[in-house]
């Protein structure tokens, strides 16, 4: 019987998938050697994290200028006391946890459940009752986000498919970008938490890109590419969730990484030119 790893290798071997993944990896390699990263990588990575937080929040409906988000992160600026502000705060928290975890080797291969819990807690605080945070949904609970997707599975199926993800993560020989795309798509499909599933899905994608060596600098910003085509991103998630086009989802994720490398180069150029406050 084919294993999850076998299934993933089959997906990765599809010519269109392989071409998209190769293009993304080449873009990440080019970004890696940008001059700004030789001496100012921490600043570049911090700015990329801020841009990721802004884009991820915007995908949840909380749209704020980059300068505002930079001030929230760097200077503790207060956010509006409404749903939009709560969503931005959640995205900023998740981005901070994501940066912390992505700096650890094999961040997702050890303690996957704990990592999910930590991200879910950061994503849901202020948006759901405290007793529902940091754990998968139980019987009778439904996700309060990502409307428009096919119905979310029940808790029993969630447990099985999270175990499938752990099995994939346990195999270090699998292509990192393809695994990251499946992690991303599965969380969107499962919506295992009552809230914050989109933030958690994109965080796992980002963490694995870094820890698997696809984007070792952490300066790529695929979230910006997802935001630039939010409609396409939503449709891709729906196709993945329904099982209609898993290869297409992987290709779209790879394309976002390729485009995210361009956003990363803009980050590097802005840091070099002194256009970003050093306090960040």
What would the pLDDT profile of 110-148 be if each residue is shown by its tens digit? Answer: 889 999 999 999 999 999 999 999 999 999 999 999 888
Q: What is the pLDDT of residues 156-195, one digit of tens each?
A: 899 999 999 999 999 999 999 999 999 999 999 999 999 9
The secondary structure of the chain, three-state, reads: CCCHHHHHHHHHCCHHHHHHHHHHHHHHHHHHCCCHHHHCHHHHHHHHHHHHHHHHHHHCCCCCCHHHHHHHHHHCCCCCCCHHHHHHHHHHHHHHHHHHHHCCCCCCCCCHHHHHHHHHHHHHCCCCCHHHCCCCCCCCCCCCCCCCCCCCCCHHHHHHHHHHHHHHHCCCCCCHHHHHHHHHHHHHHHCCCCCCHHHHHHHHHHHHHHHCCCCCCCCCCHHHHHHHCHHHHHHHHHHHHHCCCHHHHHHHHHHHHHHHHHHHHHHHHHHHCCCCCCCC
Confidence band (pLDDT; 50, 70, 90) for 278?
Answer: low
Q: Report all structural domains of the chain as residue ranges with CATH numbers, in order of start.
A: 4-272 (1.10.3290.10)
226-272: pLDDT as tens digits:
999 999 999 999 999 999 999 999 999 999 999 999 999 999 999 99
Residue 280: its pLDDT value, please? 39
């Amino acid at each position: 019987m084919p294993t999850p790893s076998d299934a993933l290798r089959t997906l990765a071997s599809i010519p269109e998938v392989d071409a998209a993944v190769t293009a993304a990896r080449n873009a990440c390699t080019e970004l890696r050697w940008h001059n700004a990263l030789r001496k100012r990588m921490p600043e570049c990575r911090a700015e990329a994290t801020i841009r990721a937080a802004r884009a991820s929040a915007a995908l949840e409906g909380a749209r704020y200028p980059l300068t505002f988000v930079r001030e929230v992160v760097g200077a503790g600026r207060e956010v509006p006391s409404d749903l939009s502000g709560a969503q931005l705060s959640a995205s900023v928290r998740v981005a901070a946890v994501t940066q912390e975890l992505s700096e650890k080797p094999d961040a997702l291969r050890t303690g996957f459940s704990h990592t999910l819990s930590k991200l879910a807690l950061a994503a849901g605080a202020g948006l759901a009752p405290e007793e529902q945070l940091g754990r998968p949904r139980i019987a009778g609970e439904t996700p309060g986000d990502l409307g428009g997707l096919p119905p979310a599975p029940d808790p029993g199926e969630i447990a099985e498919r999270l175990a499938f993800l752990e099995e994939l993560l346990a195999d270090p020989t699998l292509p990192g970008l393809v695994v990251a795309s499946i992690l991303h798509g599965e969380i969107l499909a499962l919506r295992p938490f009552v809230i914050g599933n989109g933030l958690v899905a994109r965080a796992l994608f980002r963490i694995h890109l870094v820890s698997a060596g696809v984007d070792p600098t952490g300066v790529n910003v695929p979230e910006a590419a997802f935001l630039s085509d939010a409609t396409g991103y939503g449709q891709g998630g729906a196709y993945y969730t329904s099982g209609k086009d898993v290869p297409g989802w992987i290709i779209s994720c790879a394309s976002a990484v390729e485009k995210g490398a361009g956003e990363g180069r803009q980050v590097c150029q802005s840091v070099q030119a002194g256009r970003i406050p050093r306090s960040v």
